[in-house]
Structure 1
Amino acid sequence: MTRKLFKFLLYLLCLAFLGVVAYAYIGPLIGSDFDAPTREIRQPVTLHAD
């Protein structure tokens, strides 16, 4: 019984991994955007140099 459960969990893990890999390749084709939002940030810095 334990062996069957372990085997089932291993198959499920492999299937989940393949699903994530497939989504990574197919996602941009179906409209998912994986790019991080970018914007320029300017912040004044005060240097205390003696």
Structure 2
Amino acid sequence: MWRLIKLLFFLAVIGAIGLVGFAYFGDLTPQQQDVTEPVTLDVD
């Protein structure tokens, strides 16, 4: 039972390190593009 708890703790630590590493070194910049759309105004 103790081995299972140690394994789960180890996997959680490795997962947290991987998540932090991806957040720092991964390409998380959003894609940007210009959007132009005609607008019709109903002015009477």
What TM-score comes out, normalization by structure 1 length? 0.52
Residues 44 and 8 of structure 1: CA distance in aligned 2, closer, same or farther (over 3 Å): same
TM-superposed deviation, 1:5 = 1.1
Distance 2:35 2:28 in 1: 21
In angstroms, what is the RMSD of aligned CA positions? 2.5
User: Whose radius of gyration is greater, 1 or 2?
Assistant: 2
4+ residue segments displaced more than 4 Å: 46-50
**Percent identity over the alignment?**
34
Unmatched 5+ residue regions in structure 2? none
1:33 maps to a residue whose letter is D
Unmatched 5+ residue regions in structure 1? none
User: What is the aligned residue count?
Assistant: 44
Q: Which has the higher contact order (CA 8 A, sep 6+)?
A: 1
